[in-house]
Structure 1
Amino acid sequence: MMPRRSTMAVMSAIGLVVLALGGCGAMLFSSVMMTSIAGSSSAMRQQNMTQGYGLSSLVPAEYVQWVTRAGSLCPAVTPPMIAAQIQAESNWDPTAVSPVGATGIAQFMPSNWGMIRDENGNGTASPTDPADEIVAQGRLMCEYASYLSTAYQGEELQRLTLAAYNIGPYKVLARGCMKASLPDCPATMPRDPSVRAYVAKIMSTMGQYASTPASLAVGVAGGPWQQPVTSWTPSGVFRQAGRMWRWCGFHTGYDYVVPTGTVVKAVHQGTVVHAGYGGSGAGTGGAYGNQVIIDHGMIDGQPVRTYYAHLSSIGVSAGQKVTTGQALGLSGATGNVSGPHLHLEMSVGTSGNPVCGSFVDPHAYIVQHANDARVDTSVLVTSNATTGAKAVASARTQLGVTYSYGGGGLNGPSSNLDGTVGFDCSSLVRFAWYQATGGQVTIPRTTGEQVGALAPISKDDLQPGDLLYFQTGGPGNIWSHVGMYLGDGQMIHAPRPGTVVTIVDVTSGYYARIPTTYRRVST
C-alpha cells in the first residue's frame, strides 16, 4: 500500500540538503548531493517495451510495456520488481480500492495522484488507468531509491525502497536525517511486521516474473567497445589485493555492483564459447556461478576473451555469434559472492582457459577502446535521422565512461591532470556534437562559454540533442552543469567525480528543482 503523504510532503519532511555541485568545464565546488540513479537508455526502454524483455508470461500481456517502462527508469528498480510489487499491491486488479482509500493497480493514495501522468496518450492522467499508475509507480520508487542510494546498494537498497513505498521514506530514514544531508543518513527496515512481510513477499516472488533474454534484438555489429551495464557502483577493482582471491593473489577482474536482474550486455562482438555454470566446459570454476564467456577473436594481434560471472540467468548459448551491446543475461549473485554484482574479467594473449598473467583491467580496456575508429554513429541511427538524434547516439556510445574533470576531447575520453580517463559534462556534449556532424561543428569547451555562444530556446521547444544548463550553486550562480536532452524527459550527462556517464530523469528530483536554461546547436 502506498504511503499516505504526498511526494512533495515527503521531500519537505526529509529536509533534503543539496549543496553546490558544479565544475563541468566551469569551476569545481565541493558538494554534497543525492546520487542520481540512471535508467536504461530510451532506445533500450523502447526495445524492452515492444518485445517484453525481462518479463515472464505471468505478467498480463496488456501491462507488459508499462511494467517494462516503469522498471527501466533507474538501476534499483527492475521490471520483475515492479511486477511482483503490483501482485502484492492489487493482484493485478486496476479497480482495487483499499479500506484506507488506496486506488488502482499500484494502490496510489490520493495525496500521490500528482505523480501520475498520461502515459498512453489517451488525454487523461488517471489513477484508474493502469498505464498511468504503473509508470508513476516506477517513478516514485526511483525517487525513494535516490534518497537511499548514496549509502545502500544491491538487494539492501531494493528492500529499503520497497519499505519506503509501503510505509513512506520518513519511516525508513533515521529520525536525525530530517536535518542531515543524505550521504550521512542511515536507514533501517521498519519493525512493523506487515512492512517486513510486504518486502519479503516481493523479494521472494520477483524471480518468477523474470525471463531469460534469449532473443533480445542484437546490438551494433562491430561498433565501439562499451561497458556491460548502463549504470553501476564500482566495488572490487582490478589487481586489488586480498585473501579472498586465492588463485592469483589479486582480484582478476572488475566488479559492477548492480541489483539482481540488471541486463548484462556484450562489451564487443564475438562468439560465445561458454554459457552455463562456471565449473563446466570452458568455464573457470564454480566460484564464478552462472557465467558467459565470449571469444572476441584477434584484437591488435592477440586473442581476447571476456568473462561475465555470477549471472542469475543466461540468454545465449555456446557457439552463438553476438554483437556489441547484445543482451547476454541478467546479473545476480550465483557462485562465490558477498552480494549481487557482475564480475567481468578480460584475458589477452590466450585462446583457452586464462592464466594469471593474461588478465587485464576490463574497465580500463573498454574505456581506452571506446574511441576506436569503430565509433561510427551511422550504425546507431537511421540515415534520415536528424543531426540532434545523431548527437544523442554519439553521446550514448559513452555510457558508463568515468567522469574526469578536465578530461574528454573531440574524439573521445582523455585523461585529466590526475590521470583519470573520461569526460566531464561539457566535454561530453562537445564530443557528441563534433562526432554527429563529422567534425563540422565544434562548440565551446566550458559550460559558461557554451551558454553564451549557443541559441536560447524554451523548455517547450526541447528536441533530442538540445542542451540543458543548470545552476548548481557557487559564486555568481554560474551555469555550471550541462546535459543533453534525449526526449521523454531524460538527459544524458557526466554528473561529477566518482560517477560515470549516465542517464537521468529531469522531470522530477534534483534537476527539476534548480534553475535551468536551454540551448540549441545550430548546424
Structure 2
Amino acid sequence: MSDEHDSGKKAVIAAAAIVVPVMLFLLPMLAIGVLLGTQNNQSQGGGAVTNVPEAYRADVSRAGGVCTTITAPLIASQINAESGWNPTASSGAGAQGIAQFMPGTWKTAGRDGDGDGKADVWNAHDAIWSQGNYMCGLAGQVAGLLKSGKIKGDTVQLALAAYNAGIGAVISAGGLPSIPETVNYVGAIIAKMPYYTDTSSSGTGAGTVGTLTPKLVMRDATHVNVEATGTDQSSSSYAKFQCTWWAFIRRRQIGKPVSDHMGNGGEWDSTARSLGMSVSLDPRPGDAITFHPGVHGSSPVYGHVAIVEQVNDDGSILISQSGTGWMAVVTETISKPALSAMGNGIAFIH
C-alpha cells in the first residue's frame, strides 16, 4: 500500500474491472480460501520474532498467529517496508498509519486490536492486528486462485503483491504483477524476513555427524550421477534442475517429509514449520538446508534450498544441490565457520 503504486491505482482499478465477472464466478471458492487462510492458529503461525520495537512485539506476534501462512517475521518485515515503524506515517496517495492502509480499505478491514471498542488506523495496535487479518484474508484468496489455476506463483509473494497493488492486479497478471514498485516491494520484504526471525532457541548448530544413505553416485568430483543414484526425477510441481526440484526428489527418495508446494527455496523452513515439520539450526544427514534470500550467494528474491548429504566431525557439511545455473546436480562442502557466519539466514528441515 505504498504511495508510489497508490498514485497509479487508476490503472489497477481498470484491470480489476476486467476481472470482476471472473471474481463473481470465483466468490464461493474464494470464501473457502479465506476460511482456510484465516484459521486462528497462533502456535503454528506466529513464530519467534526479534528486532521488533518493544512497544509492538506482542502485536506483531499476535498478528503473525492469525493463520499459518502469514508469520510474525513477515508482518514485521512488511511494517518496516510500509512505514519504517512510524505509527503516524501518511503517503501522498492517502495511505495511513504504521501499516499504511488506504481509507477505503480500512472501512472494511479495520479491526479493534487493543479492545478499546474502536478501530483506529492511527492506533498501531489496531493497525497491526488488522494487517495480520487482512494479509491472511489475501493469502486465503490467493490459495483459492492458485488451486483453480487462475494464477501461478508463491502464496506469500502473491499475498504481498495483493496488499501492495490489489488482488485485481494479481488476477489480471495471472500471478506476480510486473509493476516495478510491486516487484521491489515483495522482494525487499522477503529479503528482510531473516532479520526479524528469532531462531536462537531452535538449536545449537552442533549437528549430528554421519552420512546420508543411499549415498550419492558421482560422475566426477562435484557432479552427481542422478540416474545411478536411483533418484526418481519426476515432479509435477518443480521444474527440472531448479533447486526445489532436487531437494524435493532427494527428500522423497530418502523418505523424509516434503510437500509438492513448499514455495521458493528460501521459504522452505517457514513452510515446513507450518506443516508441522521439525526445523532447527542443527544439521543432520538428510536435512533440507534452506538459504534465505541473498544468503550464501543465493537469489535475493527466491533464496535457495539443498540437501545435507554428510555432517563431518569438524562441523562442516557436504550438500547436494541443483539450480538453473548448473543444469545439473552438484556437491559443495561448507565449513563450520561459514555456517556460523550465516546465522539465522539458514535453517535445517529434519
- Do Structure 1 and Structure 2 share a fold, with TM-score over 0.5? yes
Partner of 2:167: 169
Partner of 2:60: 67
Aligned mate of 2:23, from 15, 19, 43: 15
State how far apart, in whole Å, the 1-side matches of 2:142 and 2:283 are: 33
**CA deviation after TM superposition for structure 1 residue 68, in Å:** 1.6
Alignment-mate amino acid for residue 111 of structure 2: R
Partner of 2:296: none
**CA deviation after TM superposition for structure 1 residue 159, in Å:** 1.5
Alignment-mate amino acid for residue 289 of structure 1: A
- Is the counterpart of residue 335 in structure 1 residue 306 in structure 2? yes
- Is the counterpart of residue 127 in structure 1 residue 121 in structure 2? yes
**CA deviation after TM superposition for structure 1 residue 147, in Å:** 2.1
State how far apart, in whole Å, the 1-side matches of 2:182 and 2:175 are: 12
* 1:68–1:79 contact (8 Å) kept in structure 2: yes
Partner of 1:407: none
**CA deviation after TM superposition for structure 1 residue 213, in Å:** 5.8
- Is the counterpart of residue 206 in structure 1 residue 212 in structure 2? no
Write the mapping of 1:398-413 to structure 2, written as runs, cut at 5 A.
none
Alignment-mate amino acid for residue 197 of structure 2: A
Seen in structure 2, the aligned counterparts of structure 1 residues 35 and 311 have a Cα distance that, compared at 3 Å, is farther
State how far apart, in whole Å, the 2-side matches of 1:266 and 1:76 are: 10
- Is the counterpart of residue 194 in structure 1 residue 181 in structure 2? yes
**CA deviation after TM superposition for structure 1 residue 264, in Å:** 3.1
**CA deviation after TM superposition for structure 1 residue 15, in Å:** 2.3
Partner of 1:93: 86
Seen in structure 2, the aligned counterparts of structure 1 residues 75 and 250 have a Cα distance that, compared at 3 Å, is same
Aligned mate of 1:82, from 69, 75, 99: 75
* 1:96–1:103 contact (8 Å) kept in structure 2: yes
* 2:121–2:127 contact (8 Å) kept in structure 1: yes
Partner of 1:277: 283
Q: Which runs of 5+ in 2 are unaligned?
A: 11-15, 204-230, 235-245, 293-302, 308-320, 324-350
Q: Looking at CA atoms only, which structure, 1 or 2, has the larger radius of gyration?
A: 1
Q: Which runs of 5+ in 1 are unaligned?
A: 22-30, 175-185, 217-239, 291-309, 313-331, 340-523
| 1:182-208, Cα deviation, whole Å (9 max, x unpaired) | xxxx72322221111111111111111
**CA deviation after TM superposition for structure 1 residue 96, in Å:** 0.5
In the alignment of these two chains, the number of paired residues is: 239
**CA deviation after TM superposition for structure 1 residue 172, in Å:** 1.2
Percent identity of equivalent pairs: 29
Partner of 2:139: 145
Partner of 2:340: none
**CA deviation after TM superposition for structure 1 residue 250, in Å:** 4.0
**CA deviation after TM superposition for structure 1 residue 73, in Å:** 1.9
Tell me the secondary structure at the aligned position of residue 130 of structure 2.
Answer: helix
**CA deviation after TM superposition for structure 1 residue 289, in Å:** 3.5
User: What is the RMSD of the two structures over their aligned residues, measured on CA atoms?
Assistant: 4.4
**CA deviation after TM superposition for structure 1 residue 102, in Å:** 0.7
* 2:79–2:99 contact (8 Å) kept in structure 1: yes
State how far apart, in whole Å, the 1-side matches of 2:183 and 2:277 are: 42
User: So what's the TM-score if we normalise by structure 1?
Assistant: 0.39
Tell me the secondary structure at the aligned position of residue 273 of structure 2.
Answer: strand
Seen in structure 2, the aligned counterparts of structure 1 residues 128 and 33 have a Cα distance that, compared at 3 Å, is closer
Tell me the secondary structure at the aligned position of residue 81 of structure 2.
Answer: helix
* 1:37–1:75 contact (8 Å) kept in structure 2: no
Write the mapping of 1:473-492 to structure 2, written as runs, cut at 5 A.
none
**CA deviation after TM superposition for structure 1 residue 131, in Å:** 0.9
State how far apart, in whole Å, the 2-side matches of 1:156 and 1:140 are: 18
State how far apart, in whole Å, the 2-side matches of 1:124 and 1:275 are: 42
Tell me the secondary structure at the aligned position of residue 97 of structure 2.
Answer: coil
Seen in structure 2, the aligned counterparts of structure 1 residues 137 and 246 have a Cα distance that, compared at 3 Å, is closer
- Is the counterpart of residue 252 in structure 1 residue 255 in structure 2? yes
**CA deviation after TM superposition for structure 1 residue 334, in Å:** 3.5
Write the mapping of 1:40-439 to structure 2, written as runs, cut at 5 A.
41-42=40-41, 44=43, 53-56=47-50, 58-114=51-107, 115-150=109-144, 152=146, 156-174=154-172, 187-212=174-199, 214=201, 241-242=232-233, 250=253, 252-256=255-259, 257-258=261-262, 260=267, 261-262=270-271, 264=273, 276-278=282-284, 283-284=285-286, 288-290=287-289, 334-336=305-307
Seen in structure 2, the aligned counterparts of structure 1 residues 333 and 255 have a Cα distance that, compared at 3 Å, is farther
Seen in structure 2, the aligned counterparts of structure 1 residues 211 and 15 have a Cα distance that, compared at 3 Å, is same
Seen in structure 2, the aligned counterparts of structure 1 residues 69 and 142 have a Cα distance that, compared at 3 Å, is same
* 1:75–1:258 contact (8 Å) kept in structure 2: no
User: So what's the TM-score if we normalise by structure 2?
Assistant: 0.55
